[in-house]
Structure 1
Amino acid sequence: MNTVLVATIAVAGLCSAYSEVARDWKPSDLGDSRSPCPLLNALANHGYLPHGGRDLDRDTVLGALEDAVNLDRPLSDFFFQAALSTVPLANATQLSLHHLNQHNAIEHDASLSRPDAFFSSHQDVFDPSIFAETRAHWPDPVISVRQAAAARLGRVQTSNRTNPAFELNRAGAPASVAETAVYLIAFGDVEAGTVRREYVEYLFENERLPCELGWEKSKFVLTQKHLEAMSGRVVAETNSLLNGAGIRDVTTVSQSPLSGDEL
């Protein structure tokens, strides 16, 4: 067979496989709606969600999370309903990504990549200096659950020390744990509790799925069970870190395992 034809077929096959994982990517434009969540922003940048990030209904959001990261619909629906509560309109059925910037609803202090609301109103914008602190807890090419927990705990402690209005309430605290659990299960090995550091850095820094680095979405559906289990592991490692240092976390509620209504 002609080598050029072979190469053409191979490239076509690669592109076909790649398109099953991620669509074309385009950065946000001025006027696009974006959130404090790098994953949701990435889904808009890839076109899984409308690029403008506005007027998103349930089916659109659930379908995007299923297609992009293989999150099951019951868990996605829970997240959607929580997000819908940030819309300042009674009986809303749609939301825009910027609605999630509402402080102490889903958005919270001690973000891994955003400044606290006390210091800035731009929680939809990635902050390299904040993320640099987070990354400092990931010294190895592969992030373990313990390192992920250390990064989250480090941000909580820094925020508590520097922000006079610091708070992790009953909504923000579980969200703080869940955002760490989500990047571990969506981009890493669910059983091992590990994830390649470059995948996570690429997602946060570019708001882009790390397909070009070799990541592929989970071949099995990710459920509430997976999220709860990983959240519990993050909490356990956090408590271990605190006990080893002989200190007590300032946000006890943030260490509570996620389950049921608190997920």
Structure 2
Amino acid sequence: MGLLSLPIILSAVLAAAVEPPKGHPWLAPGPNDYRGPCPMLNTLSNHNFLPHDGRNITKNKVVSAMSSALNFNESLAALMFEMAIVANPEPNATFFTLDQLNVHNVLEHDGSLSRTDAFFGSNHIFNETIFNETKVYWTGEILDANMLANSKIARQLNSKAFNPTYRFTSSVESFSLGEVSAPIVAFGDLQAVTVNRTLVEYFFENERFPTELGWSTRKEVVNIEDILRLSQAISDASNLITTDKEVVSTQRRDLHGGLY
């Protein structure tokens, strides 16, 4: 799941290859390297946790990359591979390429936070205009589930309004919730369900781990329960229907406070 303008003082540092995390310097993709619609998989390839050319991505490589870079446990990383392998059309495939993920409406979908819909052009290259639309709803320096959910809803609404081929199934919704919560998983506070906006913007814009900004791989292991809980938090925040509980509670406080 183009971005923030970083302080000028960092420009010289960012121009050179660095080592975030240790032993995995960032290297921009070359003209013959594959990249896809997922910023995190692209980032893992740019840091050579996954093959830098974006080819021959096997289960073992995904498990190793997710564990080393993000501290995912093995079963969660294996699940990520199983979700991606469907993009390879070959029967009984044991690997996928990042280019295969670009096929529209397999895993890639409309309403991305950082890519334009396939109907309008490239569905996998970072689009600054689209990302600027997303950032409008990130109204604080610390992003929470509500801000991320608002940007998700807005992108879907924009896509539905202007894309005549708009498609967003219940399966896509499940993927989308996981994608929108991914910045918290990678860079944020799993318990508070928050993440520093600067880290997220830097990541999307550069497809690079934000080590220069102080990030490091989390020490606690991430498991499937964490992903499900965060996805549910985004889902709850995406609900546009409110209840009367807050209103009733406020009225009771006012009455007991002697304001009426």
Please tell me the TM-score bracket, short chain as reference. Answer: 0.7 to 0.9
Distance 1:22 1:231 in 2: 31
Read off the aligned partner of 1:238 and give its amino acid letter: S
1: CA distance between counterparts of 2:44 and 2:107? 18
Question: Per-residue CA shift, 1:190-214, capped at 9, x if unaligned?
Answer: 0111100011101110000111101
Deviations 1:110-149 (A, max 9, x none): 00101111112x2221000010011111121111111011
CA separation in 1, counterparts of 2:89 and 2:241? 42
For 2:73 and 2:21, locate their aligned partners in 1 and report how far apart those are by CA, in whole Å. 17
Q: In the aligned structure 2, how far is the partner of 1:73 from the partner of 1:153?
A: 32
1:234 aligns with 2:234: yes
- Match status 1:132 vs 2:132: yes
Take 2:93 and 2:41, find their aligned partners in 1: how far apart are those partners?
19
Kindly tell me the number of residue pairs found equivalent between the two proteins. 225
SS of residue matched to 1:143: strand
Question: Which of 1 and 2 has greater Rg?
Answer: 2
Partners of 1:101 and 1:124 within 8 A in 2? yes
- Measure how far apart 1:102 and its partner are: 1.6
Q: Is the 8 A contact 1:69 1:217 kept in 2?
A: yes
Cα distance in 2 for residues equivalent to 1:220 and 1:44: 23
Amino acid in the other structure paired with 2:64: G
Alpha-carbon separation, structure 2, partners of 1:234 and 1:176: 10
* Map of 2:190 onto structure 1: 190
Match of 1:113 in 2: 114
Separation of aligned partners in 2, 1:117 and 1:132: 18
Distance across 2 between alignment mates of 1:91 and 1:66: 25
1:74 offset after TM fit, Å?
1.1
8 Å CA contact 2:199, 2:213 repeated in 1: yes
1:69 aligns with 2:103: no
Q: 1:57 corresponds to which residue?
A: 58
Q: 1:235 to 1:22 in 2, by over 3 A?
A: farther
SS at 1:118 equivalent: helix
Counterpart residue number, 1:157: 157
Give, in whole Å, the separation in 1 of the partners of 2:24 and 2:237: 36
Q: Indicate whether 1:225 and 2:235 are aligned.
A: no
Which amino acid in structure 2 is aligned with residue 49 of structure 1? L
Partners of 2:34 and 2:97 within 8 A in 1:
yes
> Separation in 2 of the partners of 1:216 and 1:81?
27
Q: Following TM superposition, where does structure 1 have runs of at least 4 consecutive aligned residues deviating by more than 3 angstroms? A: 18-22
Cα contact 1:187–1:215 (8 A) shared by 2: yes
CA distances 1:162-207 after superposition (whole Å, capped 9, x unpaired) = 1111111243221111101111121100011110001110111000
**Change in 2 beyond 3 A, CA 1:136/1:21:** farther
Equivalences for residues 36-47 of structure 1 within 5 A = 36-47=37-48
Code of the residue aligned with 1:220 in structure 2: it is E
Q: What residue is the counterpart of 2:147 in the other structure?
A: 147
Identify if the C-alpha distance between structure 1 residues 73 and 224 changes in structure 2 by more than 3 Å, giving closer, same or farther.
same
Matched position secondary structure for 1:27: coil
- Which residue of the partner structure matches residue 31 of structure 1? 32
Aligned residue number for residue 243 of structure 1: 241
Give the whole-Å Cα distance in 1 for the aligned partners of 2:73 and 2:113: 25
For 1:173, the equivalent position in structure 2 comes to 173
User: In the alignment, which residue of structure 1 is the partner of 2:123?
Assistant: 123
Following superposition, the deviation at residue 20 of structure 1 comes to 4.7
Gaps of 5+ in 2: 1-18, 243-260
Residue 106 of structure 2 aligns with an amino acid whose one-letter code is A
CA RMSD of aligned residues (A): 1.5
Aligned-pair identity (%)? 37
Give secondary structure in 2 for the equivalent of 1:154. helix
Q: Which runs of 5+ in 1 are unaligned?
A: 1-17, 245-263
